Every structure is written in C-alpha cells, then in structure tokens.
C-alpha cells in the first residue's frame, strides 16, 4: 500500500497562494464533467482539489493536471458552489513553483507583498546602478545607445544573470521532473502497451506534440467560455501574443547581437528590426488586454492575480513599451536625454525579468511544455489508464 506525505497545513497554504476556498467543494464532479481536457489520464480539476483537501502534498507537487490546464475558466463558470476551481489550479501552480525553487525567493514573493515590492525595487536599482557605473555622457542628436552604456557591460552582465538564474531554473526543473516521475513512473520506463513504439519514436512524438501545442495552442482553443468573443479578445489569442511577443523580442535581440553592426541604424524592413517591432506590439497588446481583463469587476470566473502576478504582467508591458519606444526613437534626429532614460529602464527591467524567470509565474513557460512533453511521452493518445485512483479522483 502506497504511503503518502500528508501536510495538515496544505489547504491553508494554498489559500495564501490564491486559492479561493477549496473547502467549499463538495465533490459534485461538475468541473471535471465540463472540462474539455478531462480524461481517464488527466482529471481536471477534481483530482487536484482532492489532493489539497486531504493534505497530500507529495501528490499535489507531482500532479500533471496543474500544468496541462490552460485556465480557460469553463469549470469556474459552472461551479454550483462558486468555489472557483480554475483559480484553485492557478494557486496550485504558484505553490508548485515556490516549492521547486531552491532559493526560497519564490515563496516569499508569493506570500509577502512587502518582500515583493522591496525585492523588485532593489533589483531594479541594482541593475540601474551597475549600468550607470560605466555609462558615458549622452550624445546630442541621434541616439548612441552603446556610447551611453557600453555593449560589453550589458553583454557580460546578461551572461552572469543568465548563468546564475539558469542554475536555479535547472535545479527547479530537476526537482519538478522527480515529482512528476512519481506520478508517471520512471521517465525511461516502457509503457505496458508495446504498440506504442520504442523509446525513440515516443520521444519524437512527444516533442512534436509539444511543438504543436506551442504553435497552434489547439487544446487552449477548444475551451468554450469565451467562444462568443471576437478572436482578438479570446484568451488563447491574448496568451499567444504574450508568448510569441516575448520570444520574438528575444530572437530579434539575438539577431542584432550576432549579425548587425553595433550602433548602425538599419531600415525598418531589416529582419531583426521588423521582427522586434511586431513582437513588441504583440507583447504590449497581450499584456495590456490581460491587465484590463483582470481589472474588470464582478466577473467571478476570472482568477484573481497576486501581487507577484501583477509585477510580472507590469514588467512585460513596460519592457515591451520601452523596447517599442526605442525602435521609434533611433530614427528620430534628436530625442535628448529621454531616449537614454528609456534605454536604461528597458535594459534594467529586462535583466530583472531574467532574474524572475524561475521564481515567478514566468516559470510556467518552462514547466508547462516540460510537463506536457512527459505526459505525452508516458501516456500516448491510445493509452488509457485502467481506472482512476480509488478515493482520490472517483
């Protein structure tokens, strides 16, 4: 008989991470019935709720459902107890991110607004101070960004940040994989159904499924709660703009550093310039729509955001806005000191986003495709579990 770790404080802890009131759930099963993605192998979100109610912290930390859910809010809109199951799943994701973080920063950021504000301001001030420590005198006329802050300083500082936070991300990811492996079984274990192919073919199939999900977001698009809205306001499209806007800005920056001569103003149709402009607009649009939607009062299906989530969205919007502003300013004959101030803010906040990557909601960009890939590897489309876990999901 399996032995599970029970934490009597789990329900209370989850409320600190944004869960509305899981005690209001009386296991009617309505949320699982209406979920487009619920199946024998992934029961949304009932199984997660039962884990939380029973204090099964080890099962909750390794639950695949937390990362396979897109928070479309179908379940919250039909819950007879208004227990907001979609909001609960969001809280489970925050709790898991904090539990995987070896530094403890994530836990403090999610549970203490005072720490969050102080930490965010300290990071911004630190990066701004480091960048200004070797800054030159702003030149009159067209912007000379790397004459103001040397490229080598930005490059070296970025490398240090990425290495340090990369180690944190790797450690957190390994811990998550270990927890997920307890749910799926050892990652290299062959499924009982030999018809599912060898390890190599299942790896290729899982990677293809993850890429299909990232590019097409087919599972997210099947959610029906906002089906009556125009496409540009639907949650999947807004999320799509944020995700690919951020990725596009990263790719545009990499192209500039690798192939463009520093300080040379290129035409608007130059590949990296065009990509950066489109990506910046997409990032601003997605984050602005999300912020506006979360500010709308009275919609009980909308999950509430914690202070750390507002910080993440705010940083995304400001980084996108300042980046787009710089795209415009480099073509102007003269912008004065404003352009250099915008550049300083843009670089400092972009560095801060890198620091926050493994310890905030941003980490789901890594955890979600990883968990989905493992799920598709271990549970191919034709494989079905024999029966739900007794006493938990049934």
For the chain, the domains span 10-101, 105-377
Query: Of 361, 310, 375, whose CA–CA distance to 96 is shortest?
Result: 361
Query: Of 37, 25, 43, 42, whose CA–CA distance to 87 is shortest?
Result: 25
Q: How far is C-alpha 344 from the chain's CA centre? A: 25
Question: What pLDDT does residue 224 have?
Answer: 59
Query: Of 216, 283, 213, 218, whose CA–CA distance to 248 is shortest?
Result: 283
Please answer whether residues 44 and 65 qualify as being in contact, where contact means their C-beta atoms are separated by less than 8 angstroms: yes
Question: What pLDDT does residue 285 have?
Answer: 94
Please answer whether residues 227 and 233 qualify as being in contact, where contact means their C-beta atoms are separated by less than 8 angstroms: no
Question: What pLDDT does residue 184 have?
Answer: 64
Q: List per-residue pLDDT tens for the chain, 394 residues long.
A: 456 667 778 888 888 888 777 777 777 778 777 777 776 666 667 788 888 888 888 888 778 778 888 777 777 777 787 777 888 888 888 999 999 999 999 999 999 999 999 999 999 999 999 999 988 887 777 788 888 888 889 889 989 999 999 999 999 999 988 888 776 655 445 554 444 557 778 888 888 888 887 887 777 777 656 667 788 888 888 888 998 888 888 888 888 777 777 667 777 778 888 888 888 899 999 999 988 887 876 555 556 778 888 898 899 899 988 988 888 888 888 787 888 999 999 999 999 999 998 998 888 888 888 888 888 887 654 343 333 333 343 3
Question: What pLDDT does residue 293 have?
Answer: 81
pTM for the predicted model, two decimal places: 0.83
Question: What pLDDT does residue 302 have?
Answer: 59
Token pair of 85 as six digits: 């199951």
Token pair of 241 as six digits: 């703009």
List Cβ neighbours of 269 (8 Å cut-off, separation of 6 or more): none
CA pair distance 209, 211, nearest whole angstrom:
5
CA pair distance 173, 194, nearest whole angstrom:
29
Please answer whether residues 30 and 80 qualify as being in contact, where contact means their C-beta atoms are separated by less than 8 angstroms: yes
Q: How far is C-alpha 35 from the chain's CA centre? A: 21
Question: What pLDDT does residue 390 have?
Answer: 35
Query: Of 255, 254, 253, 223, whose CA–CA distance to 238 is shortest?
Result: 223
Q: How far is C-alpha 235 from the chain's CA centre? A: 14
């Amino acid at each position: 008989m399996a032995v599970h770790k029970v934490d009597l404080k789990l329900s209370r802890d989850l409320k600190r991470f944004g869960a509305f009131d899981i005690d209001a759930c009386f296991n009617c099963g309505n949320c699982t019935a209406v979920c487009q993605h619920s199946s024998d192998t992934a029961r949304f979100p009932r199984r997660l709720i039962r884990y939380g109610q029973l204090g099964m912290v080890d099962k909750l930390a390794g639950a695949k459902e937390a990362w396979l859910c897109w928070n479309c809010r179908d379940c919250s809109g039909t819950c007879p107890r208004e227990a907001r199951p979609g909001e609960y799943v969001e809280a489970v994701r925050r709790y898991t991110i904090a539990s995987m973080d070896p530094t403890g920063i994530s836990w403090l950021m999610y549970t203490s607004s005072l720490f969050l504000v102080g930490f965010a301001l300290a990071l911004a001030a630190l990066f701004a101070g480091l960048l200004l420590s070797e800054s030159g005198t702003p030149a009159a006329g067209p912007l000379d960004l790397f004459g103001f802050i040397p490229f080598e300083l930005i490059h070296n500082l970025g490398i240090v940040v990425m290495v340090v936070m990369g180690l944190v991300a790797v450690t957190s990811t390994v811990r998550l994989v270990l927890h997920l492996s307890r749910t799926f079984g050892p990652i290299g274990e062959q499924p009982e159904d030999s018809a599912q192919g060898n390890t190599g073919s299942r790896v290729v199939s899982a990677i293809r499924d993850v890429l299909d999900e990232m590019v097409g977001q087919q599972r997210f698009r099947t959610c029906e709660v906002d089906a009556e809205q125009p496409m540009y306001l639907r949650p999947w499209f807004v999320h799509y703009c944020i995700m690919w806007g951020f990725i596009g800005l990263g790719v545009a920056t990499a192209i500039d550093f690798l192939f463009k001569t520093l300080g040379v103003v290129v035409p608007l149709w130059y590949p990296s310039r065009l990509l950066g402009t489109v990506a910046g607009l997409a990032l601003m649009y997605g984050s602005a729509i999300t912020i506006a939607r979360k500010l709308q009062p009275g919609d009980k299906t909308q999950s509430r955001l914690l202070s750390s989530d507002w910080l993440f969205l705010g940083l995304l919007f400001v980084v996108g806005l300042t980046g787009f502003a710089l795209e415009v300013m480099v073509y102007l004959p003269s912008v004065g000191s404003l352009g250099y101030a915008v550049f300083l803010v843009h670089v400092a906040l972009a560095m801060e986003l890198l620091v926050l990557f493994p310890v905030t909601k941003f980490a789901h960009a890594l955890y979600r495709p990883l968990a989905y890939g493992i799920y598709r590897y271990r549970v191919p489309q034709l494989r079905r579990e024999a029966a739900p876990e007794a006493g938990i999901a049934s």
